[in-house]
Structure 1
Amino acid sequence: MLRIFIVSLFLAFTFQVQAQDKWSLQKCIDYALENNLQVKQSNLDVESADISLFGSKMSNLPSVNGNLGLNTSTGRTIDPFTNTINDRGINSQTAGISASVPLFDGFQRYNSIKRDQYGQLAAESDLKTIQNNVSLNVVTFYTNILFNKELLETAKLRLETTESQESRIEKQVEIGALAQADLLQIRQQKANDELEVVRAENNLNLSYLQLKQALQIPANQDFDIEIPELPEPNTGELMESSANVYQYALQNQPVIKAAEYRKESAFRSIGVARSRYYPSLSLNAGISTNYSDAAPAQFPVLGSENITITRPIGIVENTGQLVVTQDEIPSEFRENTYWNQLDFNQRRFVGLSLNIPIFNQFQVRNSVQQAIITKKRSDYQLTAAKNDLQQTIEQAYLDVKAAAKSYSALNNSFEASELSFKNAEQRLELGAIDAVQFTQIKNDFERVKSDLIRAKYDYIFKLKVLDFYQGKPLNF
């Protein structure tokens, strides 16, 4: 008893895990959007556009650069401390930091930021377009599984019906109510029905494989989907006109948004190119210092007062009079240490730099012309995107109307065919018709039934596509 209990518990747990593994349509869509390689690549395009936009915005900040230098020279060379010529080896060091702020650049930075903003929006819209395409593919394959599942169930029921008819005909043949040919006919029909079951199973397996490939999961992975409760399609419900659907899609579809953003980005690129026609003005500032081992042992203290000293320079001949001169020298001196020298040699500067373009081998002109061509190309691409969208929606609208009519007509045909089939079953049991006639009526009924299932899912999917262009969620 304990073993039976454990086995039952294990089977129950396994069944529960398998039930939990069934994927809903939304789970399939979410998984595909997370793992699809095209989506991942498009995400990288968005990241790249973000970086470009960040770089354009940061171009408004100052550029700051530092420099360090270590030099050794021999022979006649200029001492960087005294700017005098020395005939000896000199070791020197230089250090500095400078900054530059662009004040005016012909609106190049402004247009660059705008261009990259629209470029980033276009990349995001491209990502949404790819996500929509991936979602539609998942819906297509998911619907195919539902369709093929129902076809398989129908094929199995058809086989069960034929097997039941075979059993009844065998009994009627045994009592002589029907001929042996009727039994052979029904057995041939049974073989055909078995073949249809195999075909339906293969089609179902293929639809599972297509969905797995869309989700990029291994073909041998256990996988099943949830079967949603699909209401019978209402072909009489009012639909938006194709013009209204197009107007809504025109304002909301990311493929149109991307084309519009690229058009604006191309327009801003013209401004970027034209900015090189204008002068550019920048503010520059910096501080630098240097050290030389040829500097004197002492140097004046910066800011100290000067004093006047008198020193002899010679004696006048004949009179013996002393000749003197007066010099002004700093009153305080500092020892020539490394840090004191760096402090003493500091130099600071602030200035404006104006760059005026005069002639550039027509490079700016060519850049502007290329930008204008790119702008015209983006105009055409936007027009083409709008035309494609309009044609797609008009085609989807006509497809829905045609699918609704087909489903409605097949529904009526199915009702008549079902009554004919039931009547044929009764007449077969009474011996009023033979197996050949019954098989023909049964085949007609099954064909209409299969066509009705196909029309049902065709209408559901095409209506879902039209709903997509109206911004409705892709779920059942």
Structure 2
Amino acid sequence: MVKNIFLMALCLWSAQVFSQDTWSLQQCIDYAMDNNIQIKQSELDLESADVDLFGSKMRSLPDLNANASYTASKGRSVDPFTNTIVDQEIQSQNGGVNTSIPVFNGFQIRYSIKRDEQSVVASNYDLQATKNDVILNVVTFYTNILFNKELLETARLRLETTQSQENQTDRQVELGALPIANLLQIRQQLANDELEVIRAENNLELSLLQLKQALQIPADVKFSIETPELPDPETNALVENSTQIYMYALQNQPVIKAAMARTESANYAVGVAKSNYYPSLNIVGGLSTSYSSVAAEQLGPEFSYFDQLDFNQRQYIGLQLNIPIFNRFQVRNNVQQAIILKKRTNYQLTDTKNQLQQTIEQAYLDVKSAAKAYSALENSLEAAQLSFENAEQRLQLGATNAVEYTQIKNDFEGVKSDLIRAKYDYIFKLKVLDFYQGKPLNF
């Protein structure tokens, strides 16, 4: 019954979540933030780091432990109450509590807390970095859908144009103004345009599926995205140079901050390892008592169970000093390993900085190249459109054949498709650069 109720609730929740078929970019990002597995795993890493830090802090507190034992014996044995040898059945009990308070342990607790605090900082930045990667991934798939939607729209318009041209050519052939070869060529182009529409539809479906999979939404769920009005991008959008962007990212990117925190954590880990070279001092104390079944027989009935527990009480308090002298070089090896880890984290930090710089330099160059390609295709489109319009007029007047017209039309449509591709390529690469500048990734 409970299971059925749970399944019904899950179904209702799913219906509510996906009832809104058209999603904005922000809605996709928000959904990914709540459901992405990599983000949840990073959150667990942060929780684990918090637990480790809590454990390190609690090591400075006293410990308290209780112990109890029960023994039944027959034959000759030592009475635990009188310490005399008896030859009979004895039932005895022992119990107590003890505590230990750390006074000095070579600053091990202090270094452990500092180390684990930096681990928590690193895990926090790792979580932010994971979220940034997920956001960038969602933006990539979202942009790809917008690109394929515009390509599909262009393919459909191209098909409508060819259908209109086919009708016009058919009438001219019937009137004898154009040869039948022109109509056959137009029909062949019509078939090609129909195939391009099918390909564009398939590409759009594939890009939608990729976004669904990135969001972990079932493939059969009805899903579409909003199509924002994207103005033609400015080809002179770059203001800062790659060095300025890198310097900003160096101070703000979570991957750098996480690597720096791990370096600090490794520094404190060396202190933790070295603390074992020093003596440790603890305050110890305890309380214990015991009971023997033969005590009443030997010493009188006044030594009952609770009387014995009261009579046999023993309290102690003292100092416990531990001085390391020789430990088979274990401390030395641990210190060396900690130093190696420290060097490794320094190298990792340097490598992370280098990778970030190289990524930004490449992204900056990609934006410049995409801007040039987009600007060149804008100019090329104007020329291709004029050539197409001229060929269309010449075809109507019978001054050119359908083969030449089709070639010019295909060239024109190819430039249009290339311009759309260049537009979205440029927009996306600008968004990547915005990401490293800390700007919001939205349209």
Q: Identify the TM-score tier after normalising by the shorter chain.
A: over 0.9
Cα deviation 1:333-389 (Å, max 9, x = unaligned): 993232222122211111100000000011111111111111111111111110000
* More divergent stretch after superposition (196-205 vs 390-399): 196-205
1:115, 1:269 within 8 Å by CA — same for their partners in 2?
Answer: yes
Identity %: 68
**1:127: which partner in 2?**
127
Aligned to 2:40: 40
Give runs of aligned pairs for residues 293-442 of structure 1, distance below 5 A: 293-296=293-296, 335-442=302-409
Displacement, 1:468? 0.5
Does the 8 Å contact 1:297/1:335 carry over to 2? no
Corresponding residue of 1:182: 182
RMSD, aligned CA:
1.9
The Cα offsets for residues 181-234 of structure 1, whole Å up to 9 and x where unpaired, read as: 111111111111111111111111111111111111222221111111212211
After superposition, give the CA deviation of every residue in 1:365-417 in whole Å (9 maximum; x if it has no partner). 11111111111111111111100000000000000111111111111111222
Q: What is the Cα deviation at residue 264 of structure 1?
A: 1.2
What is the alpha-carbon distance in structure 1 between the residues aligned to residue 305 and residue 118 of structure 2?
54
1:209 aligns to 2:176 (yes or no): no
TM-superposed CA distance for 1:296, in Å, is 4.4
Aligned to 1:101: 101
CA distance in 2, matches of 1:244, 1:160: 49
Choose from 428, 439, 443 the match for 1:472: 439
**Distance (Å, rounded) in 2 between the aligned partners of 1:161 and 1:342:** 104
Distance 2:247 2:238 in 1: 18
Shift of 1:49: 1.3
Q: How do residues 225-264 of structure 1 correspond to structure 2 at under 5 angstroms?
A: 225-264=225-264
Report the Cα offset of residue 238 of structure 1.
Answer: 3.8
Match of 2:421 among 438, 443, 454: 454
SS state at 2:83 partner: coil
Corresponding letter in the other structure for 2:109:
R
**Relative to structure 1, is the Cα distance of residues 384 and 18 closer, same or farther in structure 2, using a 3 angstrom cutoff?**
closer
Task: Assess if the C-alpha contact under 8 Å between 1:62 and 1:100 holds in 2.
Answer: yes
1:88 paired with 2:88, answer yes
Q: What secondary structure sits across from 2:358 in the alignment?
A: helix
TM-score by length of 2: 0.92
Alignment partner, residue 67 of structure 1: 67
Which 10-residue stretch deviates more, 453-462 or 131-140?
131-140
| Alpha-carbon offset, residue 99 of structure 1 | 0.7
| 1:280 and 2:247 correspond | no
Q: Which has the higher helix share?
A: 2
CA distance in 2, matches of 1:157, 1:18: 31
Task: Say if 1:369 and 1:106 are closer, same or farther in 2 by CA, change over 3 A.
Answer: same
- Separation in 2, partners of 1:39, 1:355: 45
Compared CA separation, residues 19 and 335, structure 1 to 2 (3 A): closer
Structure of higher CA gyration radius: 1
Aligned to 2:192: 192
Whether contact under 8 Å (1:298, 1:335) holds in the other structure is no
Q: Using the alignment, how far apart are the partners of 2:318 and 2:334 within structure 1? A: 31
Query: Where does the alignment leave 5 or more consecutive residues of structure 1 unmatched?
Result: 1-16, 300-332
- Separation (CA, whole Å) in 2 of partners of 1:206 and 1:366: 55
Distance 2:298 2:86 in 1: 18
Shift of 1:278: 0.5
Letter in 1 for 2:431: K
Which is worse superposed, 190-199 or 81-90? 81-90
**What TM-score comes out, normalization by structure 1 length?**
0.86
Shift of 1:170: 1.2
Q: CA deviation at 1:298?
A: 10
Look up the SS of the partner of 1:335 in the other structure. coil
Over 3 Å counting, the alpha-carbon distance change for 1:18 and 1:169 in structure 2 is: farther
Larger strand fraction of residues: 1
Q: 1:19-58 deviations in whole A, cap 9, x for unaligned?
A: 9321111111222232222222222212211111111111
1:157-168 paired onto structure 2 within 5 Å = 157-168=157-168
For 1:207 and 1:41, the matched residues in 2 are separated by 26
Q: Secondary structure at the match of 1:20?
A: coil
Deviations 1:424-476 (A, max 9, x none): 22232223322222212211110110010000000000000000011111211
Look up the SS of the partner of 2:153 in the other structure. helix
Change in Cα spacing, 1:278 to 1:187, as seen in structure 2 (3 Å) is: same
Could you tell me which runs of 5 or more consecutive residues in structure 2 were left unpaired when the two chains were aligned: 1-16
**Aligned equivalents of 1:472, 1:130: Cα separation in 2:** 17
Q: Shift of residue 290 of structure 1?
A: 1.2
How far off its partner does 1:297 sit? 7.0
Distance (Å, rounded) in 1 between the aligned partners of 2:356 and 2:367: 16
